[in-house]
Structure 1
Amino acid sequence: MSLPETSAFSTATTTRFENVHLFDPDSESGMSAATTLLVHGDRIAAIGVDAAGFAAESERIIDGRGKLLMPGLINGHFHSPVNHMKGRLDSLPLEIFMLYECPALEELRPTPREAYVRTQLACAEMLKNGVTAVQDDAFLVPEPTVDIIDAVMQAYADSGMRATVALDEPNLAELDKLPFLAELLPAERRAELAKPRNLADADLLAMYHHLITRWHGTEGGRLRAAVSCSAPQRVSTAYIHELEALSRTHDLPFYAHMLETKLQRVLGHAQPRFGGRSLVRYTADLGLLSERLNIIHAIWVDDADLDLIAAAGSVVAHNPISNLRLGSGIMPFRRMRDRGIPICLGTDEAIADDAVNMWAVAKTTGLVHNIAGADYDAWPRAGEILDCLLQGGARSMGLQDELGVLAPGRLADLVMLDLDTLPFTPLNDLRRQLVYCENGNSVVLTMVAGRIVCEGGRLHTIDEAALRQEAREIFARRKPALEQASAVAQRWLPFYRAMYAKAAAVDVGMNRWVGDADLPSPV
């Protein structure tokens, strides 16, 4: 029997995994008996007895005895530009956190090499932990440029990862994005935050034109573009409709942060343009809820919001570690699952997670919702979490027919784990031990598009030691600029603190925090 043709490689490569257990979410044990899986080119060609009939002139045989082969993990939401800032900040509310994280200062403009190195830092961490695909909502400060876009995309190309990348760039002034701030600022300070961002709409759309025409579908389809409005309150209606047109025309995922914080819930009533509507309702009224939309966080949502999301078929990106780190609250997981809303899991940025480890995200998902209510039948189960991690991630990328499942014809994005390790000894329940016990140390092989990119803890696509050394040197030189940015943030801190306290005191008819902590002081 001859092998199928593959569009991604002119000369097909073949890898045969023998005596390996396959992750099987529908079976009682969660995995198959030992079997064979054949990869040809960038796809799974055959499984089991069907694989025995294939022959190839050149193939690598991997003994999977005692190993588990499963779909590669998918990081459904990420921001790469702050990969170098892990551990820099204490836990802070989002609106204050962003003062320090991503001010649009000229001092923070990266060189192309810096953008390349910082992107590869996370690629290395993800690939070693079995993450094969990522959705990068890249905010490039002080604004996106062609050379920085190219550096980020080249880093993903060289790493071997599957990446979908958008340009997260607001176009409204700071005062237009937040409640109460204008009234809290003295007149002389107000003007500074009333300035629009650097790039006009036409310039931002030109950056998207470059991203799409230069990079979308390259590397055999491994690299793709998405669009991002950052959040609906951060952009004009004209610009958000332009992004929707790009998303619809090219069938691209559309990223939008919504109702991540209580302050964003308050915003709907505090600013006249929203007319008392939640950001979900506002977005729906603009005609933007769709199956392409990734609604990021969705913590301070009510049942009406969830009904709108479910009806539109939009995906929710859940980032539980980031939500805890920033004190944003606990997302109503069960209410979403009961409505059939697709959920993917993400790390968010490294500075809000301090790692890029999807195993930790999965475990946190399995824990944090247990303190959201007393009905333990409503707490997440391990199988549900793995569904979010794998098939939910594929759905968020618009690749639900390509990723997330081991089946012939699917893309060969795979991770192999050693079951003869402490997390799986003794093996009581595979699903639960994948979620609650594994931390990435059992990963022995990562494959993306049929290419082995990491094996035995060693990256094949990145010189990790050289990367770490260069990163230390580059970001040691960056430290004064980061400290200068922090000093600028300190000037605004009293006003943002007062804004946060005022929003926290508003009754919005729901609570997504745990406990009865005192309200924050405005000073």
Structure 2
Amino acid sequence: MTDPRPETAPTGTLFRNVRLLDPDLGDGLSASCDLRVSGGRIAATGTLSPAEGETVIDGRGHLLMPGLVNGHFHSSVNHMKGRLPSLPLEIFMLYESPELDDLRPTPREAYLRTMLGCIEMLRGGTTSVQDDCFFVPFPEPEIIDAVARAYLDSGMRARLALDQPEVPELDKLPFLRDLLPPDLAEPLSRPARRSAQELLALYDHLIGHWHGAGNGRIKAAVSCSAPQRVTPEYFAALDALSRTHDLPLYAHMLETRLQRVFGEDCLGGRSLVRYTQDLGLLSERMNVIHAIWVDDDDLDLLADSGCSVAHNPVSNLRLGSGIMRWRDMLDRGIPLCLGVDEAIADDAISMWGVMKTAALIHTLDTPDFDRWPTAPEILRAATTGGGRAMREPGLGTLVPGAPADLVLVDLDALPFVPLNDVARQLVHCESGTSVRLTMVQGEIVAEDGRLTRVDEAALLREAAETFAARRPAMARADKRMERFLPHYRAMYDMASARDVGLRRRLT
């Protein structure tokens, strides 16, 4: 791999007089100490003296914590915040990502929309992201390059995958084939716009050009989108890529009741988790995304596989998908990470909102308050859980040798005055406004609310103008998709009426 932009390691940094986040301590804080960063990694903690040429940052009155990891994300709709009302996933996707040529972005548009997410994340202390990026109408090398370049330029740590279904639309959903009139069924019966071999060639491009760029900050991942959206052969080929290069493999599973019904009607009564296991593809490299409509057998399979589960509570609420089984997963030792999912299904790209929602929504799961999430559990999912899912050893920790992806938080800011319990206040009180500095791989990439590597103001102006000009095309796309709405609604209503033996919603 030839690095598109070779980077030199940043000079060393010494944080002095900081408090370190330690969720396992009574109040979540270490005593005041120093932390040294060298070669992009944490070198030491304790009482340290400045070394020659080292940048010294006085962190008195501040908390130094691991950067947050956005464990699941789709950057492709960063420019669509607030565009759609809350809708069920299968109807939401009609308008979110129709495979229309009118919506094909230019490389510059792909760069700008990705950079919007980088700006929002880095400002608020999210240092790493797993981007399960989808491409409308299909992936192209220059668009892949634009997305990766934005992450490289911003200074973020990122895993990038190509979330592209490979079977016709009618093969992914139950009931729809019988509900659609012939004129509407025909376009949804066509093969996907890119074949498995073409998609694998695009992975060769992604891995060959970008895997390991930015001194290892930018890496590839692979994605089947969801098991029912690809053939078993392509799914197996993705797993082989994952195994060969040690890449995370992203797979949405059982996000909705309708997906549970799909397994009953289209997979011989097997859930998507069981189907994946039967294919021999459930592994510790896999990120299972959402996993809401799972039964006990599914949970046992997930636990035995060693996979991570990416929990996206705000998106799950926005789309009415249901409540994931948080405590049941932790009881089985299933590793959890947290994700925003996407800007259009969260309307912010904030891990702080995700953490608070995750801490609150599961109080509705059981009256046994001993089983409700704790603040330390939430913080671990947002840091070390994300690092594990990304397959980045040490990421999300403050141990020597770990990547120096760090966030400096002002403990004199309002969310922490008075300071009672730092873990609870981080989860329940903080919104990102107290973040004073964000460091990735030993480099300060955001400080005092602004990114250091890019002209943020100019990018925001350009993005505002560019995507305002895109609104007529998006409105035309909405109009074209309206003709499918009654039939998708009928499909959704049929699935909603089905008793699947699980209750993951209030009704």
Please give the range of the TM-score, normalised by the shorter of the 2 chains: over 0.9
Supply the distance in 2 between the matched residues of 1:488 and 1:392 (Cα, whole angstroms).
41
Q: Deviations over 1:81-135 (max 9, x none)?
A: 1000000000000000000000010000000000000000000000000000000
- Cα offset for 1:197? 1.1
**Aligned counterpart in structure 2 of residue 488 of structure 1, from 480, 486, 495:** 480
Aligned to 2:232: 237
What is the DSSP-based 3-state SS (H/G/I as helix, E as strand, rest coil) of the residue aligned with 1:141? coil
2:291 pairs with 1:295: no
Q: Deviations over 1:180-224 (max 9, x none)?
A: 001111123211210111111111100000000110011110000
- Cα offset for 1:446? 0.1
Question: Which is further off, 455-464 or 306-315?
Answer: 455-464
> Is the CA contact (8 Å cut-off) linking 2:24 and 2:376 kept in structure 1?
no
**Aligned counterpart in structure 2 of residue 366 of structure 1, from 343, 359, 362:** 359
After TM superposition, list the pairs within 5 Å mapping 1:328-339 onto structure 2. Answer: 328-339=321-332
Supply the distance in 2 between the matched residues of 1:427 and 1:10 (Cα, whole angstroms).
39
What is the DSSP-based 3-state SS (H/G/I as helix, E as strand, rest coil) of the residue aligned with 2:431? coil
> Is the CA contact (8 Å cut-off) linking 2:166 and 2:195 kept in structure 1?
yes
> Is the CA contact (8 Å cut-off) linking 1:253 and 1:293 kept in structure 2?
yes
User: Please, which runs of 5 or more residues in structure 2 have no aligned partner?
Assistant: 1-5
After TM superposition, list the pairs within 5 Å mapping 1:84-103 onto structure 2. Answer: 84-103=79-98
Supply the distance in 1 between the matched residues of 2:370 and 2:56 (Cα, whole angstroms).
44
Question: Which is further off, 159-168 or 374-383?
Answer: 374-383
**Aligned counterpart in structure 1 of residue 144 of structure 2, from 126, 149, 164:** 149
**Identity over aligned pairs, percent:** 62
Supply the distance in 1 between the matched residues of 2:9 and 2:364 (Cα, whole angstroms).
53
Supply the distance in 1 between the matched residues of 2:187 and 2:445 (Cα, whole angstroms).
47
**Aligned counterpart in structure 1 of residue 333 of structure 2, from 332, 337, 340:** 340
> Is the CA contact (8 Å cut-off) linking 2:9 and 2:40 kept in structure 1?
no
Aligned to 2:389: 396
2:167 pairs with 1:172: yes
User: Please, which runs of 5 or more residues in structure 1 have no aligned partner?
Assistant: 1-7, 517-523
* Residue type at the aligned position of 1:454: A
After TM superposition, list the pairs within 5 Å mapping 1:62-211 onto structure 2. Answer: 62-211=57-206
Aligned to 2:505: 513
Residue 166 and residue 431 in structure 1: after superposition, are their counterparts in 2 closer, same or farther (change >3 A)? same
* Residue type at the aligned position of 2:302: I
- Cα offset for 1:26? 2.4
* Residue type at the aligned position of 1:427: L
* Residue type at the aligned position of 2:311: H
Q: Deviations over 1:286-320 (max 9, x none)?
A: 01111100000000000000000000001000000
What is the DSSP-based 3-state SS (H/G/I as helix, E as strand, rest coil) of the residue aligned with 1:229? strand
Supply the distance in 2 between the matched residues of 1:189 and 1:394 (Cα, whole angstroms).
44
Supply the distance in 2 between the matched residues of 1:110 and 1:9 (Cα, whole angstroms).
28
Aligned to 1:318: 311
Residue 155 and residue 318 in structure 1: after superposition, are their counterparts in 2 closer, same or farther (change >3 A)? same
Q: Deviations over 1:217-242 (max 9, x none)?
A: 11110000000000000001111011
What is the DSSP-based 3-state SS (H/G/I as helix, E as strand, rest coil) of the residue aligned with 1:110? coil
> Is the CA contact (8 Å cut-off) linking 2:10 and 2:443 kept in structure 1?
no
What is the DSSP-based 3-state SS (H/G/I as helix, E as strand, rest coil) of the residue aligned with 1:170? coil
Aligned to 1:20: 18
- Cα offset for 1:476? 1.1
> Is the CA contact (8 Å cut-off) linking 2:165 and 2:230 kept in structure 1?
yes
What is the DSSP-based 3-state SS (H/G/I as helix, E as strand, rest coil) of the residue aligned with 1:446? strand
- Cα offset for 1:376? 1.1
Aligned to 1:519: none
Q: Deviations over 1:432-456 (max 9, x none)?
A: 0010000000000000000000111
* Residue type at the aligned position of 2:83: R
Supply the distance in 2 between the matched residues of 1:267 and 1:439 (Cα, whole angstroms).
38
**Aligned counterpart in structure 2 of residue 55 of structure 1, from 48, 51, 54:** 51
> Is the CA contact (8 Å cut-off) linking 1:9 and 1:42 kept in structure 2?
no
- Cα offset for 1:12? 5.3
Q: Deviations over 1:451-481 (max 9, x none)?
A: 0001111210122211111011111111111
> Is the CA contact (8 Å cut-off) linking 1:9 and 1:41 kept in structure 2?
no
After TM superposition, list the pairs within 5 Å mapping 1:247-286 onto structure 2. Answer: 247-271=242-266, 274-286=267-279
Supply the distance in 1 between the matched residues of 2:69 and 2:93 (Cα, whole angstroms).
25
> Is the CA contact (8 Å cut-off) linking 2:312 and 2:339 kept in structure 1?
yes
**Aligned counterpart in structure 1 of residue 471 of structure 2, from 479, 485, 490:** 479
> Is the CA contact (8 Å cut-off) linking 2:17 and 2:33 kept in structure 1?
yes
Q: Deviations over 1:37-83 (max 9, x none)?
A: 1111201111113x33x623x12111100000000000000000100
2:448 pairs with 1:453: no
Aligned to 1:411: 403
> Is the CA contact (8 Å cut-off) linking 1:163 and 1:224 kept in structure 2?
yes
Supply the distance in 1 between the matched residues of 2:470 and 2:343 (Cα, whole angstroms).
17
**Aligned counterpart in structure 2 of residue 502 of structure 1, from 494, 500, 503:** 494
Residue 11 and residue 318 in structure 1: after superposition, are their counterparts in 2 closer, same or farther (change >3 A)? closer
> Is the CA contact (8 Å cut-off) linking 2:10 and 2:442 kept in structure 1?
no
Residue 171 and residue 9 in structure 1: after superposition, are their counterparts in 2 closer, same or farther (change >3 A)? closer
Supply the distance in 2 between the matched residues of 1:223 and 1:204 (Cα, whole angstroms).
20
> Is the CA contact (8 Å cut-off) linking 1:294 and 1:315 kept in structure 2?
yes
Supply the distance in 2 between the matched residues of 1:12 and 1:478 (Cα, whole angstroms).
39
Supply the distance in 1 between the matched residues of 2:191 and 2:360 (Cα, whole angstroms).
41
Q: How many residues align?
A: 502
> Is the CA contact (8 Å cut-off) linking 2:27 and 2:420 kept in structure 1?
no
What is the DSSP-based 3-state SS (H/G/I as helix, E as strand, rest coil) of the residue aligned with 2:225? coil
Supply the distance in 2 between the matched residues of 1:430 and 1:439 (Cα, whole angstroms).
14
Residue 23 and residue 11 in structure 1: after superposition, are their counterparts in 2 closer, same or farther (change >3 A)? closer
Q: Deviations over 1:324-359 (max 9, x none)?
A: 000000001010000000000000010000000000
- Cα offset for 1:10? 5.1
> Is the CA contact (8 Å cut-off) linking 2:138 and 2:194 kept in structure 1?
yes
Aligned to 1:45: 43
- Cα offset for 1:9? 6.7
Supply the distance in 1 between the matched residues of 2:381 and 2:348 (Cα, whole angstroms).
20
Supply the distance in 2 between the matched residues of 1:175 and 1:11 (Cα, whole angstroms).
50
> Is the CA contact (8 Å cut-off) linking 2:184 and 2:484 kept in structure 1?
no
Supply the distance in 2 between the matched residues of 1:208 and 1:481 (Cα, whole angstroms).
29
> Is the CA contact (8 Å cut-off) linking 1:130 and 1:440 kept in structure 2?
yes
Give every structure 1 segment of 4 or more consecutive aligned residues whose post-TM-superposition deviation is greater than 4 Å: 8-12
2:424 pairs with 1:436: no
- Cα offset for 1:402? 2.4
Supply the distance in 1 between the matched residues of 2:69 and 2:186 (Cα, whole angstroms).
42
Supply the distance in 2 between the matched residues of 1:406 and 1:130 (Cα, whole angstroms).
15
